[in-house]
Amino acid sequence: MHTPITHQTTLTSVKENIHLDEWSASHTDLPLDTDAQWSIKKHTLHGGKQEGVDMIELDNGAMRITIIPTRGMSIYDVSYGGLRLGWNSPVKEIVHPQFIDMEDNGGLGWLEGFNEWMTRCGVEFAGHPGEDNGRLLTLHGKIGNIPTSEVQVVIDKEPPHRIRIRGKVHEVFFNGPNLELWTEVSTVPGSNSFRIDDVLTNKGKLEQEFMIIYHANFGPPLLEQGSKLLGTIEKLQPFDAHAASEVQRWDTYHQAKDGFAEQVYCIYPSADSDGNAHFLLHNASADQAVSFTYPKEQLPYLTQWKNENTGGYVTGLEPGTGFPHNRSIERKYGRVPVLKPGASRSFGLEYTIHKDKEEVKAAANAIQNLMQQPPQVIAEVIGK
Amino acid sequence: MHTPITHQTTLTSVKENIHLDEWSASHTDLPLDTDAQWSIKKHTLHGGKQEGVDMIELDNGAMRITIIPTRGMSIYDVSYGGLRLGWNSPVKEIVHPQFIDMEDNGGLGWLEGFNEWMTRCGVEFAGHPGEDNGRLLTLHGKIGNIPTSEVQVVIDKEPPHRIRIRGKVHEVFFNGPNLELWTEVSTVPGSNSFRIDDVLTNKGKLEQEFMIIYHANFGPPLLEQGSKLLGTIEKLQPFDAHAASEVQRWDTYHQAKDGFAEQVYCIYPSADSDGNAHFLLHNASADQAVSFTYPKEQLPYLTQWKNENTGGYVTGLEPGTGFPHNRSIERKYGRVPVLKPGASRSFGLEYTIHKDKEEVKAAANAIQNLMQQPPQVIAEVIGK
Amino acid sequence: MHTPITHQTTLTSVKENIHLDEWSASHTDLPLDTDAQWSIKKHTLHGGKQEGVDMIELDNGAMRITIIPTRGMSIYDVSYGGLRLGWNSPVKEIVHPQFIDMEDNGGLGWLEGFNEWMTRCGVEFAGHPGEDNGRLLTLHGKIGNIPTSEVQVVIDKEPPHRIRIRGKVHEVFFNGPNLELWTEVSTVPGSNSFRIDDVLTNKGKLEQEFMIIYHANFGPPLLEQGSKLLGTIEKLQPFDAHAASEVQRWDTYHQAKDGFAEQVYCIYPSADSDGNAHFLLHNASADQAVSFTYPKEQLPYLTQWKNENTGGYVTGLEPGTGFPHNRSIERKYGRVPVLKPGASRSFGLEYTIHKDKEEVKAAANAIQNLMQQPPQVIAEVIGK
């Protein structure tokens, strides 16, 4: 079946019983008021644990974004002008959820599929495995391993013709949460930035706790000896004793070392006058960077995960509704929000890739100018 | 491959290595001595957690029955003259077993796929999760999440040409149970009734315990404020304190209320002179009803599950070999039967849909006439 | 897509995004310097729990070997001149890993798919379920339920034109082991023997423990009342009290008895002057046998599993890097080897089928001649 592209095209649908294995469209199929040679391709992966996994490649003519409908609309990687957002996980295949057993290894089964640039943690719960009211919560929840129910390509009719890949991911069980997450990844043809715009709705009849963490992960070339993180930060605090031991170098990175244990910092962002938090990660020579911004109120906390070892050299910069403790701890500290029946919460993040020294400098300066004083660095480990 | 219908047609077979994704046949393909415009369709579901799920629609010309081979031949719903047997679970997709982790949430993972009109619980064990001799038994067992090994359409050569959808579901592991369940759903063209006829065989070499509960679930429109249950009942007893608190209204239903906890009653049916138990559920105005009957000896207990809340307004009327306690409790009270090697047990239930007041009245009267005295209502909670 | 056979043909590949559902080739497609009418077929299984399972049949013209890429390149069975290596498990379907929950039943979920002639146990851990440093290790590890990432047919260009089915199975998770197992099953056209040649590599950055047991299982007709095991054995010791109670008849088999519990013996092989251990299992009349040989240093231990009951009459003869205790016990006794980062270990086993009395006698004599004294039979149960 050939499905021609329109301004709204369905690639997968439970409602319409549609699932396109292979599909593609480009600027020649749907003329837009842009010179960018954009294209969208959907294909299916084969072999090993990735047999049957859907992938979507959204190329805006300058930036390519790969999205995984089979894994809750996670973003595998992003490339712009030779710079790749992503990392080199030892997990090489894009693992079908059928091969993930969340309960494995004391609730760490999520780690068998962890290799994306960005995966959402949540949404009934996120964070470390452990008991909460007698129930084992598994690492980082289910949403990143739920296959997407509705997948759509939506292209704005008006310039600048933003291209949106939308997906509905439904986390539900009987007598449990009924949380519907509409995800969207979008970009304007030819641009060096993209957005994530999600809406989480409690479709249930009772109040429902939720947690969401945008687990975005950056490896080389952005991450290297001398890379640095900037941000509008009010204060930060180490997650454990090992992180506390080097809290003063929280914003810098060293090279990957065999067996060097992860260090995690709990960051309380501040916001500009529009309420937006801003962060930027640049490489050692400050000529390549990614910056991102989002309304602080939507995601009041950010976890900085420094994994400076050779088992997967990566830093997670993870805006969230809380920190990655088990929900039992997050609840104790008031970081587990609640949705009333029918209520929604929106989350919107914009990422921009900077490819030359001037551009990096300008973006870094903009953040510096928002900081009246340096972040308050708290030496003690955060409460548990 | 086009497979023409005959009086016995194979849709899926491990033995013959057959799996038809799409298939259909109707009264025009196989002339029968009936005016009913019957048809049978098999198709595959797509999107989300239902990707790859097989469905069979059996339409007898007046009644449509949907059967899910991928989920142990569960019956998704039944429609007759605008009346639907089924319910509105918050779980909307027909979930492929590959996405069910029975051990999730302390053994409640079964609830991620629970939305059928009728799913069988069992057959090694059924009932609530919990430890039995040091082993965690998960909620309601495995049989409803085992894909069917052999699926056949069998049509009687002689009038009234009953149409049968047969499926073999095999629950087995090495050094464990080896239980083969041949299921059958059947209906006569044009009729307002259908039958379930199952045979469970111990294919193992040792005696084997088993449990089976026919978890049939009724939501609106049959279920509403004022709906009522009738039955040939000797006595009944509440499952817990909450059920005990309202035991006197066991047979009536109120409207769905947010957060109203389920109430469960353990019913000991009586039988007519042929040994058959009879039940009937009618709506408030008693002009729509379902009735069902089965040999009491086959399924000596019936669980009435009243879930009068908005999270899934439904009542389960569940004939079984026992009640839905954990097997450790059911064994203690002598409600876990045993099959000798090679031995079989048969289960046969007939359901009829009644669509007008006179018909409902006649069916209700027939049950009333079988009752010499009202059911004995025991106020105390059943032993555990 | 028709993929013609060459001396190296890819059937499945994550790297190249290839997965051939149906494929075949034979001696007429690729002329070799042999009269043997060899063929190779790949097909897909359907129905029940085997929906979507890949199978490869390698027929060397005299011997047929069936390999299961979907289940970690396990070997389902081997047939030569009417003699079958394999057994009659109560598990009849070749189960797709999507339907296996390793954590089920206290870590015994592996048993839901256990029916192959040979499945590898390992490779992070093998052996009995139980806690090791607070983590539940499930029975026999993951490698036998991991779908293969790369599957190749490789045919030697030079006579005798050995035909090799190669598969890469990757057991990995983030912050965990990163173990790549390249498996190979091979045979020379027309011959009565085949080889297994595997290479296990630690792709991780840290030292990594591993365990591997070649769980090869023999049922009738080789196994019957009066079958006998011979081997180059230094000593052996019972695994538990039940095995100890009949330790003196360790090398003989009786008929299957209902409910007769398994008996396991821990064997310490000796080697010939080339370092090879040798074993032979023959039937009662000693006119049918299988023999196998391998470098003792590669697999210093052999587990003899005698399961002389009707639930699956079978004996496992299982060369391994250790015995099948939980890893916590095996480590204590120094039987859990370690691979340095980047390091590899090779395992090579050759199996030969003997079909007449003279041949069996010659093979048995060869083993007897290597034994200067009978095996030392230790009566006490092995340490735990």
Mean pLDDT along residues A214-232: 98
Q: Does A283 touch chain B (CB under 8 A)?
A: no
Q: Are A14 and B50 in contact (CB under 8 A)?
A: yes
Mean pLDDT along residues A288-305: 98
Q: Are C300 and C321 in contact (CB under 8 A)?
A: yes
The pair of structure tokens assigned to C94 is: 């070749």
Phi first, then psi: what are they for B244, rounded to 5°? -60, -35
Q: Are A381 and A264 in contact (CB under 8 A)?
A: no
Calpha distance B334→B347 (Å, rounded): 19
Nearest to B14 among C47, C104, C311 (CB): C47
Mean pLDDT along residues C121-126: 98
C43 CB neighbour count, 10 Å cutoff: 16
Q: Does C149 touch chain B (CB under 8 A)?
A: no
In chain A, residues with a C-beta closer than 8 Å to the C-beta of C15 are 47
Quick: pLDDT tens for C295-354. Answer: 999 999 999 999 999 999 999 999 999 999 999 999 999 999 999 999 999 999 999 999
In chain B, residues with a C-beta closer than 8 Å to the C-beta of A341 are 258
Asked casually if ipTM beats, i.e. exceeds, 0.95, the reply is yes
Residue A256's closest chain C neighbor by CA?
C205
Q: State the smallest CA–CA distance between residue C332 and chain A in angstroms.
A: 21
Residue C52's closest chain A neighbor by CA?
A51
Q: State the smallest CA–CA distance between residue C159 and chain A in angstroms.
A: 31
**Residues facing B59 on adjacent strands:** B39, B64
Q: State the smallest CA–CA distance between residue C12 and chain A in angstroms.
A: 6
C-alpha B235 chain-centroid distance: 22
Nearest to A103 among B46, B93, B101 (CB): B101
Residues in B 98-117 with any Cβ partner in C closer than 8 A: 98, 101-103
Residue C258's closest chain B neighbor by CA?
B205
Angle at C116 between CA C110 and CA C117, to 5 degrees: 135
Q: Are B377 and B250 in contact (CB under 8 A)?
A: yes
With cut-offs at 50, 70 and 90, classify the pLDDT of residue A134: very high
Q: Are B292 and B351 in contact (CB under 8 A)?
A: yes
> What pLDDT does residue A25 have?
96
- Sequential DSSP letters for A131-190: EETTEEEPTTBSGGGS--SEEEEEE-SSTT--EEEEEEEEEE-TTS-EEEEEEEEEE-TT
The CB-based long-range contact list for A127-132 (8 Å cut-off, 24+ gap) reads A127/A211, A127/A213, A127/A322, A127/A323, A127/A324, A127/A325, A127/A326, A127/A327, A127/A329, A127/A330, A128/A324, A128/A325, A128/A326, A129/A326, A130/A326, A130/A328, A131/A326, A131/A328, A132/A326, A132/A327, A132/A328, A132/A331
> What pLDDT does residue A3 have?
86
Nearest to B47 among A12, A175, A341 (CB): A12
Q: Are B95 and B297 in contact (CB under 8 A)?
A: no
Nearest to A13 among B43, B47, B105 (CB): B47
Q: Does C150 touch chain A (CB under 8 A)?
A: yes
> What pLDDT does residue B121 have?
98
Reading chain B (384 residues) residue by residue, the pLDDT tens digits are: 578 888 999 999 999 999 999 999 999 999 999 999 999 999 999 999 999 999 999 999 999 999 999 999 999 999 999 999 999 999 999 999 999 999 999 999 999 999 999 999 999 999 999 999 999 999 999 999 999 999 999 999 999 999 999 999 999 999 999 999 999 999 999 999 999 999 999 999 999 999 999 999 999 999 999 999 999 999 999 999 999 999 999 999 999 999 999 999 999 999 999 999 999 999 999 999 999 999 999 999 999 999 999 999 999 999 999 999 999 999 999 999 999 999 999 999 999 999 999 999 999 999 999 998 999 999 999 999
Mean pLDDT along residues A293-308: 98
- The proportion of chain A whose per-residue pLDDT surpasses 90, expressed as a percent, equals 98
Mean pLDDT along residues C212-241: 98
> What pLDDT does residue C372 have?
87
**Confidence (pTM):** 0.97
Quick: pLDDT tens for C348-377. Answer: 999 999 999 999 999 999 999 999 899 999
Nearest to B48 among A148, A203, A205 (CB): A148
Q: State the smallest CA–CA distance between residue C2 and chain A in angstroms.
A: 17
In chain B, residues with a C-beta closer than 8 Å to the C-beta of A340 are none
**Residues facing C229 on adjacent strands:** C281
With cut-offs at 50, 70 and 90, classify the pLDDT of residue A1: low
Chain mean pLDDT for chain C: 97
Contact C203 A311 (CB under 8 A): no
Q: Does C310 touch chain B (CB under 8 A)?
A: yes
In the numeric block, the tokens 């049939």 are attached to: B216
Contact C93 B149 (CB under 8 A): yes
Q: Mutation test of the interface with chain A: which of B101, B138, B140, B264, choosing the one with the most A Cβ atoms within 10 A?
A: B101
Contact C203 A98 (CB under 8 A): no
Q: Mutation test of the interface with chain B: which of C51, C91, C215, choosing the one with the most B Cβ atoms within 10 A?
A: C51
C-alpha C315 chain-centroid distance: 12
Chains touching C (3+ CB pairs < 8 Å): A, B
Q: Are C69 and C167 in contact (CB under 8 A)?
A: yes
> What pLDDT does residue B372 have?
87
Q: Does A119 touch chain C (CB under 8 A)?
A: no
DSSP A106: H
Q: Are C308 and C255 in contact (CB under 8 A)?
A: yes
Query: What is the count of residue pairs from A and B with beta carbons less than 8 Å apart?
Result: 95
In chain C, residues with a C-beta closer than 8 Å to the C-beta of B150 are 47-48
Nearest to C50 among B14, B136, B175 (CB): B14
Q: Are C52 and C45 in contact (CB under 8 A)?
A: yes
Q: State the smallest CA–CA distance between residue A129 and chain C in angstroms.
A: 13
In chain B, residues with a C-beta closer than 8 Å to the C-beta of C50 are 14
| pLDDT over 80 (residue C141) | yes
Q: Does A175 touch chain B (CB under 8 A)?
A: yes
Residues in A 323-342 with any Cβ partner in B closer than 8 A: 341
Q: Does A51 touch chain C (CB under 8 A)?
A: yes
Contact C14 A90 (CB under 8 A): no
Report CA dihedral (C374, C375, C378, C382) to the nearest 10 degrees: 180
Residue A94's closest chain C neighbor by CA?
C14
> What pLDDT does residue A360 have?
98
Mean pLDDT along residues C196-224: 98
C98 CB neighbour count, 10 Å cutoff: 24
Contact A112 C203 (CB under 8 A): no
With cut-offs at 50, 70 and 90, classify the pLDDT of residue A24: very high
With cut-offs at 50, 70 and 90, classify the pLDDT of residue C1: low
Reduce the secondary structure of chain B to three states and give it as a string: CCCCCCCEEEEEECCCCEECCCEEEECCCCCCCCCCCCEEEEEECCCHHHCCCEEEEEECCCEEEEEEHHHCCEEEEEEECCEEECCCCCCCCCCCHHHCCCCHHHHCHHHHHCCCCEEEEEECCCCCCEEECCEEECCCECHHHCCCCEEEEEECCCCCCCEEEEEEEEEECCCCCEEEEEEEEEECCCCCEEEEEEEEEECCCCCEECEEEEEEEECCCCCCCCCEEEECEEEEEECCHHHHCCHHHCCECCCCECCCCCEEEEEEECCCCCCEEEEEEECCCCCCEEEEEEECCCCCEEEEEEECECCCCEEEEEEECCCCCCHHHHHHCCCCCEECCCCEEEEEEEEEEECCHHHHHHHHHHHHHHCCCCCEECCCCCCC
Quick: pLDDT tens for A236-270. Answer: 999 999 999 999 999 999 999 999 999 999 999 99
| Number of helices followed by number of strands (H, E) in chain C | 4, 27
Nearest to C14 among A48, A99, A106 (CB): A48
Strand-pair category, B344-354 with B338-339: unpaired
Contact A175 B51 (CB under 8 A): no
Q: How far is CA C315 from CA A112, A225, B35, C93, in A?
A: 34, 57, 60, 20
**Contacts with A246 (C-beta within 8 Å, 6 or more apart), sequence order:** A263
Q: State the smallest CA–CA distance between residue C369 and chain B in angstroms.
A: 38
> What pLDDT does residue B216 have?
98
Residues in A 8-47 with any Cβ partner in B closer than 8 A: 12-15, 17-19
Quick: pLDDT tens for C18-75. Answer: 999 999 999 999 999 999 999 999 999 999 999 999 999 999 999 999 999 999 999 9
Residue B259's closest chain A neighbor by CA?
A206
Residue A45's closest chain C neighbor by CA?
C17
Contact B19 C51 (CB under 8 A): yes
Nearest to B174 among C98, C101, C114 (CB): C114
